[in-house]
C-alpha cells in the first residue's frame, strides 16, 4: 500500500519502500523511497524480512517483462508488488530464478484494463505447477545462474557504456555545430545569460520571432495497438523521444470515430512534446515523410515556422540543443517529476541563435552525417545487447526447467 502523502511523518524514514521502479537488480538492499516507523505502526504496511522474493503484479511494465528481485534487507512494498516467502525445502534464490525462467508463462496470465495497465491474475499463477528439484540441485542451479548471469550482465553493461559514449560523442559534435557554426565566424557576446556567445552574423532572439503559429491535436479514447495501414492512428507523445520521429508510436482510432482532419500530419511538420517526464518534455522531431493516416495528439505541439528565419530541420536541432533543454526544464511545471508540462509561452520565449538560412542547411547536413555514422554503430551495439539479453533469458529458462545440464557449468568452474 501507499501511506498517505498528507502525513509528512510517514515519509523519508529509514525503511525501504519498494515499488516497480526499483526492480532493476536481482538483489535489492535499498529503494528510491522510504517510509517511517510511524507509517508501519499506523497503516497496513507490512515489514518483510530479508530473502523474500519480490514480484510486480500490476503496472505497464508487465506488458513486456516480469521483474523479480530478492530483498537483502527488511522492506515494505507498494500495492503493485507482492513478496513471496518460499516454503521449507525451497531456496529463495532458486525461487527467484525459477520465476524469471517462467516469464513468458507469467506474462500470459495478465489482464489489461481499459487504460492499458496490466494485472497479474494471482488466482492462476498461485496454482501454477512449477519444477522443484531437490535442495542440492536447487543450490547448484542458483549458483550457476548467479555466476553466468553476472558475466552476461557485465558484458551488457560494457555495451551500454559504449552506447552512452557514442551518443555523447554525437551530441557533442552537434552541439559544436550549433555553437560555432560551419564558417569559422568569430564568437561574440550576445548579452543573453542563457546563451552568452554566438557566431558573428547570427540572430540571437526569442524563438517566437521564427514562429507563425502553434497548435495541438486531440486525444480520443483509442485502441491499445498501432494503426494498420488502412486505419487512422493518433500519435503518442513518445513519437518524438528518439533521435528521429517514430511513426509507429501511435494508437489506432476506433472505426466508429471520425478523424479530425485538421490534425492530419504533414511532411516537414515540427512536433514538440507538451507533456512528459522532465528529461523528455519539450523534445522535438521532424516529420520527414508523408503519413496521411496519422493524427496529432493533444500532448504534442505542431509548430508553424517562418522559413525566412529557420528551416524545419534546424529548428529541431535548436530545440534539442543544450541551451534550449536547460530553458525548457526550467520552464516546465507539474506536481510530479514523472509528468511535466510546458506552455506555448515557454517555447515562444526560448532564446535561440539563428544562423543565416544557408548556414543552417550546412549545419543540418553535417549533423545528419554525424547521426548516420553514430546511429549505425548504435544499431550494431543494440543488436549485441538484444542477443545477450535473449541468451540470458534462454539460459535461465533452460536451467530451471531441466533442459540444461548445469553440471557442465559446475565442472567447468
How does DSSP assign 229-264, residue by residue?
TTS-EEE-GGGGSSSS--TTSEEEPPTTSPP-GGGB
Residue pLDDT, tens place only, 90-145: 999 999 999 999 999 888 888 877 566 788 887 777 788 888 899 999 999 999 99
CA atoms within 13 A on the CB side of 400: 25
pLDDT at position 301: 97
> For 160-179, what is each residue's pLDDT tens digit?
999 999 999 999 999 999 99
Residue ranges of the domains in the chain? Answer: 1-131, 133-181+355-413, 182-354
Give the chain's radius of gyration (CA, Å).
Answer: 26
Q: Using the predicted structure, report yes or no on whether residue 338 has a pLDDT greater than 80.
A: no
The CA distance from 254 to 338, in Å, is 28
What mean pLDDT is reported for the chain? 92
What CATH superfamily is the domain 1-131? DNA methylase specificity domains (3.90.220.20)
Arithmetic mean of pLDDT, 227-232: 92
- Architecture of domain 133-181+355-413 in CATH? Orthogonal Bundle (1.10)
pLDDT at 245: 96
Tens digits of residue pLDDT in 107-117: 888 887 756 67
pLDDT at 327 over 50: yes
Share of the chain above pLDDT 90, in %: 78
Mean pLDDT calculated for residue range 350-376: 95
8 A C-beta contact, residue 157 and residue 376: no
Higher pLDDT, 6 or 306: 306
Q: Binning pLDDT at 50, 70 and 90, where does residue 262 land?
A: very high
Query: What pTM, to 2 d.p., does this model score?
Result: 0.79
Contacts of 122 (CB under 8 A, 6+ apart): 57, 82
Task: Please tell me what DSSP assigns to residue 20.
Answer: G
Domain 182-354's class?
A: alpha beta
The number of helix segments (H) and strand segments (E) in the chain equals: 10, 24
Same topology between domain 1-131 and domain 182-354: yes
- Mean pLDDT for the stretch of residues 380-409: 89
Amino acid at each position: 500500500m501507499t501511506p498517505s502523502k498528507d502525513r509528512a511523518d510517514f515519509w523519508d524514514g529509514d525503511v525501504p519502500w519498494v515499488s516497480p521502479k526499483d526492480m532493476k537488480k536481482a538483489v535489492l538492499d535499498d529503494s528510491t523511497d522510504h517510509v517511517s516507523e510511524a507509517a508501519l505502526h499506523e497503516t497496513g504496511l507490512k515489514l518483510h524480512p530479508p530473502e523474500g522474493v519480490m514480484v510486480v503484479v500490476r503496472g505497464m511494465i508487465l506488458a513486456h517483462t516480469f521483474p523479480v528481485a530478492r530483498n537483502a534487507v527488511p522492506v515494505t512494498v507498494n500495492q503493485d508488488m507482492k513478496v513471496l516467502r518460499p516454503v521449507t525445502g525451497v531456496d529463495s534464490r532458486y525461487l527467484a530464478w525459477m520465476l524469471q525462467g517462467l516469464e513468458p508463462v507469467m506474462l500470459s496470465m495478465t489482464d489489461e484494463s481499459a487504460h492499458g495497465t496490466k494485472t497479474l491474475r494471482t488466482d492462476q499463477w498461485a496454482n501454477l505447477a512449477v519444477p522443484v528439484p531437490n535442495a542440492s540441485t536447487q543450490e547448484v542451479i542458483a549458483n550457476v545462474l548467479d555466476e553466468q548471469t553476472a558475466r552476461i550482465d557485465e558484458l551488457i553493461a560494457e555495451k551500454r557504456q559504449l552506447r552512452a559514449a557514442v551518443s555523447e560523442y554525437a551530441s557533442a559534435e552537434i552541439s559544436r555545430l550549433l555553437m560555432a557554426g560551419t564558417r569559422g565566424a568569430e564568437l561574440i557576446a550576445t548579452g543573453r545569460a542563457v546563451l552568452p556567445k554566438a557566431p558573428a552574423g547570427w540572430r540571437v532572439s526569442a524563438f517566437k520571432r521564427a514562429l507563425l503559429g502553434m497548435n495541438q491535436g486531440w486525444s480520443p479514447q483509442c485502441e491499445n495497438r498501432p494503426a494498420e495501414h488502412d486505419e487512422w492512428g493518433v500519435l503518442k507523445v513518445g513519437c518524438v523521444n528518439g533521435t528521429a520521429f517514430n511513426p509507429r508510436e501511435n494508437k489506432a482510432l476506433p472505426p466508429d470515430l471520425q478523424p479530425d482532419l485538421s490534425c492530419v500530419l504533414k511532411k516537414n511538420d515540427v512536433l514538440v512534446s507538451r507533456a512528459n517526464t522532465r528529461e523528455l518534455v519539450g523534445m522535438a522531431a521532424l516529420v520527414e515523410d508523408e503519413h496521411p493516416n496519422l493524427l496529432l495528439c493533444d500532448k504534442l505541439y505542431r509548430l508553424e515556422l517562418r522559413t525566412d528565419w529557420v528551416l524545419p530541420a534546424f529548428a529541431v536541432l535548436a530545440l534539442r540543443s543544450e541551451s534550449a533543454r536547460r530553458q525548457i526544464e526550467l520552464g516546465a511545471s507539474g506536481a510530479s517529476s514523472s509528468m511535466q508540462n510546458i506552455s506555448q509561452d515557454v517555447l515562444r520565449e526560448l532564446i535561440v541563435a539563428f544562423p543565416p538560412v544557408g548556414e543552417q542547411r550546412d549545419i543540418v547536413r553535417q549533423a545528419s552525417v554525424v547521426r548516420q555514422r553514430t546511429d549505425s554503430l548504435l544499431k550494431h551495439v543494440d543488436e549485441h545487447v538484444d542477443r545477450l539479453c535473449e541468451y540470458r533469458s534462454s539460459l535461465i529458462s533452460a536451467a530451471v526447467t531441466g533442459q540444461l545440464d548445469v553440471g557442465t557449468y559446475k565442472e567447468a568452474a
